[in-house]
């Protein structure tokens, strides 16, 4: 590792020293099958615009914990140890156990005229009384994965719990100097951010109708409950806000700029992009500047800005391009946008050569080494838990 001063100026996530190829983690939307699991695609060669599903397009990993479903996965590499982690939302929307909802559903039939009410009731339940645990896997070689474990992001340092209705769409950035000098376990940590409906401590039943979704944050060394520290609120617009994705880049003057794209679910819904030059970007005094709004609306059939969510930012390791994938809902999946200078906003990727399997949804992208790329291709179809 570099010394502490220069380590502060390393953009995250870092590509490996000899980058070649990309790995995409995602889930699928399928109301007829058990698709809320972990899927992996690799780029075709070193091209981040063409994707090949591993394992014949079948899931790689399945959660047997919590709801038994995982959505919104993200993968990240610890730059000190090389360990790669997958973190995901603990939520099964299709085919899960609906016993807890039977009373509220009151006979609504999704195949009849009650379709909208049926799903509104279910999503209200999941956002008020859902899981606050993330599902986590780790791997040293991207072929063999650990058994999954749970990380409860509602845990406070004093042993109590925040009144969170759920924990959705986790992502993170590595911060080399998060802890002070001399901290046991080292200075570096992942700052994790996710979406939760936040309730007052006096409302353990989560009955407050005025509560809304905010983006929260915490920090951890290894995505375990033992090292996790709850931080607080990261984004609060006064109405529902979900699905933040982030990326850092070095500017010509040497400063590090942090970009984030987030879905606003409020009165003016849509994905917006903002940025800050604050070194400790997760803290309350960081100043963010909005750069672009209504991102990806042209991909929605009726140009409704609420029809895109689950953005994913990642940078090319071979040129200056930055990609932003937006999830066109409910069933189209990721569509690509691109920028050379994110400060000027993202444009639609106009190319007939873009290849991605249909219904690929809400994930994250990791730069690989050539050895990792070759190992993944060689083990295609034989990947799984140790």
pLDDT in tens, 89-100: 999 998 876 544
Radius of gyration of the chain (CA): 20
| Residue 126 confidence (pLDDT) | 92
Q: For residue 166, name the pLDDT band (cuts at 50, 70, 90).
A: very high
Pairing type for strands 144-145 and 384-385 reads parallel
For 167, the token pair is 């924990």
- The owner of tokens 């990792």 is 372
In the structure, what pLDDT confidence band is assigned to residue 119 with cuts at 50, 70 and 90?
A: confident
Q: What is the pLDDT of residue 117?
A: 77
Look at residue 108 in the predicted model and tell me its pLDDT: 60
Q: What is the pLDDT of residue 363?
A: 97
3-state helix, strand, coil in the chain (%, to 5): 10, 40, 45
Q: Which of 104-108, 159-163, 171-175, 296-300 has the lowest mean pLDDT?
A: 104-108
pLDDT at position 100 is: 47
User: Which pLDDT belongs to residue 132?
Assistant: 98
Flag whether pLDDT at 112 surpasses 70. Answer: no
Confidence band (pLDDT; 50, 70, 90) for 185?
confident
Is residue 113 over pLDDT 70? no
pLDDT of residue 366: 98
pLDDT for the residue 137: 98
**pLDDT attached to residue 127:** 93
Q: Which residues contact 78 (CB under 8 A, 6 or more apart)?
A: 84, 85, 174, 190, 222
Q: What pLDDT, on the 0 to 100 scale, is given for residue 104?
A: 58
- Residue 297 structure tokens: 């609306």
What's the chain's average pLDDT?
91
Is 347 in contact with 326 (CB distance < 8 Å)? no
Q: Is the pTM of this model over 0.85?
A: yes
Share of the chain above pLDDT 90, in %: 81
Pair 180, 102: CB distance under 8 Å: no
pLDDT at site 346: 98
User: Tokens for 278?
Assistant: 């604050």
- Identify which of 307, 316, 330 has the alpha carbon closest to the alpha carbon of residue 365: 316
pLDDT at 183 over 90: no
The answer, yes or no, to whether residue 370 has pLDDT greater than 50, is yes
pLDDT at residue 118 above 90? no
Task: Check residue 216 and give its pLDDT.
Answer: 98
Confidence of residue 163 (pLDDT cuts 50, 70, 90): very high
Please determine, for residue 79, whether its predicted confidence score (pLDDT) is greater than 60. yes
3-class SS of residue 220: strand
pLDDT tens figures, 220-277:
999 999 999 999 999 999 999 999 999 999 999 999 999 999 999 999 999 999 999 9
pLDDT digits (tens, 9 = 90+) for 60-73: 999 999 999 999 99
pLDDT bin (cut points 50, 70, 90) of residue 7 is very low
High-pLDDT (> 70) share of the chain, %: 92
Domains of the chain, first to last: 4-91+130-385 (2.115.10.20)
Q: Which three-class secondary structure state does DSSP give residue 5? A: helix
Q: What is the pLDDT of residues 318-330, one digit of tens each?
A: 999 999 999 999 8
| 17: DSSP letter | S
pLDDT at 190 over 90: yes
- What's the rounded Cα separation, in Å, for the pair 269 and 272? 9
10 CB-contact burial (10 Å; exposed 0-12 / middle 13-18 / buried 19+): middle
Give residue-wise pLDDT tens across range 296-348.
999 999 899 999 999 999 999 999 999 999 999 988 999 999 999 999 999 99
Q: How confident is the model at residue 3 (pLDDT cuts 50, 70, 90)?
A: very low
Give the residue among 332, 291, 288, 290 at the shortest CA–CA distance from 309: 332
């Amino acid at each position: 590792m570099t010394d502490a001063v220069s380590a502060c100026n390393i953009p995250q996530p870092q590509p490996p020293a000899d980058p070649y190829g990309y790995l995409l983690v995602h889930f699928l939307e399928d109301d007829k099958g058990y698709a809320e699991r972990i899927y992996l695609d690799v780029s075709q060669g070193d091209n981040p615009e063409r994707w090949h599903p591993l394992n014949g397009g079948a899931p790689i990993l399945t959660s047997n914990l919590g709801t038994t479903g995982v959505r919104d996965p993200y993968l990240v590499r610890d730059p000190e140890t090389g360990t790669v982690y997958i973190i995901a939302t603990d939520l099964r929307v299709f085919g899960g156990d609906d016993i807890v909802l039977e009373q509220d559903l009151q006979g609504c039939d999704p195949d009849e005229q009650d379709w909208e009410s049926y799903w509104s009731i279910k999503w209200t339940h999941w956002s008020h009384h859902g899981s606050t645990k993330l599902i986590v896997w780790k791997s040293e070689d991207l072929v063999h994965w650990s058994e999954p474990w749970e990380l409860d992001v509602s845990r406070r340092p004093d042993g109590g719990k925040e009144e969170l209705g759920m924990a959705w769409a986790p992502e993170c950035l590595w911060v080399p100097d998060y802890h002070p000098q001399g901290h046991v376990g080292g200075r570096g940590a992942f700052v994790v951010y996710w979406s939760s409906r936040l309730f007052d401590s006096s409302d353990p039943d989560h009955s407050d109708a005025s509560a809304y979704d905010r983006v929260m944050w915490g920090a951890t060394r290894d995505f375990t409950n033992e090292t996790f520290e709850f931080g607080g609120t990261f984004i609060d617009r006064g109405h529902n806000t979900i699905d933040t994705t982030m990326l850092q880049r070095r500017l010509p003057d040497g400063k590090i700029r942090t970009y984030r794209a987030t879905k606003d679910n409020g009165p003016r819904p849509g994905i917006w992009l903002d940025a800050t030059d604050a070194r400790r970007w997760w803290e309350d005094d960081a100043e963010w500047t909005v750069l672009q709004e209504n991102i990806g609306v042209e991909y929605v059939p009726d140009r409704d800005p609420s029809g895109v969510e689950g953005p994913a930012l990642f940078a090319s390791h071979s040129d200056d391009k930055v990609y932003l994938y937006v999830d066109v809902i409910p069933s189209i999946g990721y569509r690509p946008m691109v920028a050379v200078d994110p400060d000027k906003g993202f444009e639609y990727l106009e190319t007939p050569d873009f290849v991605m399997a249909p219904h690929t949804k809400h994930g994250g992208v990791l730069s690989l080494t050539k050895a990792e790329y070759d190992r993944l291709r060689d083990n295609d179809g034989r990947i799984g838990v140790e």
